[in-house]
């Protein structure tokens, strides 16, 4: 018999790639953190002598969800500024709160809370853009969570940097250089939006990103107001300005992309731009509904993200997956516009692809990292099971995630964090609430 570190036997294995396949009574064998085999359970029992064998009948074993856009530390601002439109939400509430509170301690505690929440809902990889990216990377490393950590770029000062040049230099030194060869941490650049970065800084960013071979993530065409403001300030739509500056290319990950014309969708497709769709954040801020089915029909890779907990308010990828499927049907006026298998692919393989990680994670294939989650389909709300993929997209709740592995490490076991103290995270979050509330009360 062959040895493997871990053998997971599940009622259904859904590899995602190939697309739409469901394998009944199959198993995944893991050694040194990577998948070494995907095979029928009966064959696995006879072929492999496992250090640990985990049996999950009635569960679907899938690749871990990939949250392709978030601001993890903003979990500590969850619920602080609800029910406001985007521009007021940012300028009147969020940016002032960040200027007052954001620092290394805030980012570390907020990111711990976010990672714990994401793990418990089946997410094994997230892409983050926030201040103190080196603290985000360290926290993800310490919690054994896969992350793409993006350096923010802004013209104005923040607690982390004073201007665009300093954002770029600090990000290069503290994140891109330090974590260059890390198994779990990769990096990107994240100018906030076209309204917060000058032409000169965009040009410097493009040169640096090309030199380091790093992608660029950018909030783009998120709201109608953003486009109106850009036209008033520059006479150009944001996409036209970026194209003039040489940034509309395959290295660009456009976040939100709600307000695209048909012609702009065609330009994205021709240039190889990829998109992150954040359906629940867009709904909550009344930004609109992206033309996801049309983008996909044009060959654009569309990933899923939660955005930050201050604008969502959950970091719940199963919920995003369901919303994405339903909204795509409504936007296209076509019930077939987003089949369940396509929504699952958006939340896993397409997210990995958009982040440049499709050769490492996002599907159950030999050689890839064992980033997996097992979801219990025996609950009342997901019975009876005719099609496991449909149940995953339309019926499950996040608390049906029972097990999560990141690079083969069992991070969630039987619905509980196995490597992290949930009580400590809750205590620290409550301390932040009390501190922020006390200041708000004092100023009222």
Report yes or no: 67 and 127 within 8 Å, Cβ to Cβ: yes
Question: Would you state the pLDDT for residue 38?
Answer: 98
The mean pLDDT of 248-258, rounded to a whole number, is 98
Question: Would you state the pLDDT for residue 196?
Answer: 96
Reference 217, options 255, 257, 267; nearest CA is: 255
Sign of CA dihedral 33, 35, 40, 46: negative
Report yes or no: 217 and 228 within 8 Å, Cβ to Cβ: no
- Name the E strands within 210-291: 216-220, 252-256, 274-277
Question: Would you state the pLDDT for residue 175?
Answer: 94
Q: In this predicted model, what pLDDT tens digit does every residue of 198-230 receive, in sequence order?
A: 999 999 999 999 999 999 999 999 999 999 999
**Beta sheet of 2-13, edge-to-edge order:** 34-40, 23-31, 2-13, 48-63, 372-376, 401-406, 409-413, 416-417
93 pLDDT above the threshold of 90: no
HSE toward the beta carbon, residue 227, CA cutoff 13 A: 14
Residue 422's CB is within 10 A of a number of other CB atoms, namely 13
Question: Would you state the pLDDT for residue 95?
Answer: 84
- Architecture of the structural domain at 2-63+370-413: Roll (2.30)
Q: Would 2-63+370-413 and 65-354 be classified into the same CATH topology?
A: no
Distances (CA, A) of 406 to 135, 144, 155, 334: 20, 7, 36, 37
- Of 16-25, 90-99, 228-237, 395-404, the poorest mean pLDDT is in 90-99
Please count the residues of the chain: 444
Q: In this predicted model, what pLDDT tens digit does every residue of 325-366 receive, in sequence order?
A: 999 999 999 999 999 999 999 999 999 999 999 999 999 999
Query: Could you identify the residue written with the tokens 């969020």?
Result: 94
Rounded to the nearest integer, the mean pLDDT of the chain is: 96
Reference 125, options 349, 396, 376, 425; nearest CA is: 349
- Six token digits for residue 353: 């692809």
444 pLDDT above the threshold of 70: no
pLDDT bracket for residue 184 (50, 70, 90): very high
Q: In this predicted model, what pLDDT tens digit does every residue of 6-50 receive, in sequence order?
A: 999 999 999 999 999 999 999 999 999 999 999 999 999 999 999
144 pLDDT above the threshold of 80: yes
The mean pLDDT of 161-165, rounded to a whole number, is 97
Report yes or no: 13 and 23 within 8 Å, Cβ to Cβ: yes
Q: In this predicted model, what pLDDT tens digit does every residue of 276-291 receive, in sequence order?
A: 999 999 999 999 999 9
Reference 69, options 421, 395, 324; nearest CA is: 324
pLDDT bracket for residue 443 (50, 70, 90): confident
Output the pTM of the full model.
0.97
The mean pLDDT of 66-72, rounded to a whole number, is 98
CA distance 163 to 398: 40
- Name the E strands within 122-228: 123-129, 146-153, 185-191, 216-220
CA distance 345 to 102: 35
| SS3 of the chain: helix, strand, coil, percent, to 5 | 45, 25, 30
- Give the contacts of 182 (CB within 8 A, at least 6 positions apart): 141
- Architecture of the structural domain at 65-354: Alpha-Beta Barrel (3.20)
Q: In this predicted model, what pLDDT tens digit does every residue of 412-428 receive, in sequence order?
A: 999 999 999 999 999 99
- Angle at alpha carbon of residue 306, lines to 305 and 311, rounded to 5°: 140
Report yes or no: 3 and 48 within 8 Å, Cβ to Cβ: yes
Query: Could you identify the residue written with the tokens 């007052």?
Result: 100
The mean pLDDT of 369-386, rounded to a whole number, is 98
CA distance 424 to 122: 21
- Six token digits for residue 159: 């607690």
CA distance 220 to 307: 13
The domain limits of the chain are: 2-63+370-413, 65-354
Q: In this predicted model, what pLDDT tens digit does every residue of 100-127 receive, in sequence order?
A: 999 999 999 999 999 999 999 999 999 9
Pairing of strands 372-376, 401-406: antiparallel
Question: Would you state the pLDDT for residue 109?
Answer: 98
């Amino acid at each position: 018999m062959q040895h493997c570190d871990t053998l997971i036997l599940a009622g259904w294995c859904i590899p995602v790639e190939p697309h739409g396949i469901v394998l009944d009574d199959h198993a995944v064998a893991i050694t040194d953190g990577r998948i070494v085999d995907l095979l029928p359970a009966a064959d696995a029992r006879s072929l492999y002598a496992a250090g640990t064998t985990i049996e999950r009948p009635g569960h679907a074993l899938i690749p871990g969800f990939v949250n392709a856009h978030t601001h993890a530390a903003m979990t500590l601002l969850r619920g602080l500024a609800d029910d406001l439109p985007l521009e007021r939400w940012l300028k009147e509430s969020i940016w002032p709160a960040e200027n007052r509170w954001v620092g290394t301690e805030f980012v570390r505690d907020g990111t711990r809370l976010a990672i714990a929440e994401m793990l418990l809902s089946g997410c094994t990889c997230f892409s983050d853009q926030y201040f103190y990216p080196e603290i985000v990377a360290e926290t993800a490393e310490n919690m054994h969570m896969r992350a793409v950590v993006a350096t923010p770029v802004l013209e104005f000062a923040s607690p982390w940097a004073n201007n665009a040049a300093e954002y770029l230099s600090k990000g290069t030194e503290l994140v891109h250089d330090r974590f260059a060869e890390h198994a779990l941490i990769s990096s990107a650049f994240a100018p906030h939006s076209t309204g917060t970065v000058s032409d000169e800084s965009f040009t410097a960013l493009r040169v640096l990103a090309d030199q380091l071979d790093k992608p660029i993530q950018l909030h783009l065409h998120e709201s109608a107001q953003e486009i109106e403001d850009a036209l008033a300030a520059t006479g150009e739509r944001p996409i036209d300005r970026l194209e003039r500056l040489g940034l509309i290319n395959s290295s660009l990950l456009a976040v939100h992309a709600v307000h695209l014309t048909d012609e702009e969708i065609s330009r994205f497709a021709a240039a190889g731009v990829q998109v992150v769709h954040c359906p629940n954040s867009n709904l909550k801020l009344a930004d609109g509904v992206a033309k996801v089915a049309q983008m996909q029909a044009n060959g654009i890779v569309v990933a899923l993200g939660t955005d930050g907990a201050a604008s969502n308010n959950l970091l719940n990828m199963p919920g995003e997956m369901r919303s994405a499927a339903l909204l795509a049907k409504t936007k296209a006026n076509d019930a077939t516009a987003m089949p369940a298998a396509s929504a699952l692919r958006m939340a896993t393989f397409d997210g990995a692809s958009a982040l440049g990680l499709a050769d490492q994670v996002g599907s159950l294939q030999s050689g890839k990292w064992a980033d997996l989650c097992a979801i219990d389909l025996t609950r009342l709300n997901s019975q009876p099971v005719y099609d496991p993929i449909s149940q995953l997209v339309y019926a499950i709740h996040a608390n049906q995630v029972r097990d999560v592995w990141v690079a083969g490490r069992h991070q969630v076991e039987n619905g509980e964090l196995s490597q992290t103290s949930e009580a400590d995270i809750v205590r620290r979050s409550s301390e932040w609430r009390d501190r922020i509330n006390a200041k708000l009360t004092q100023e009222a």
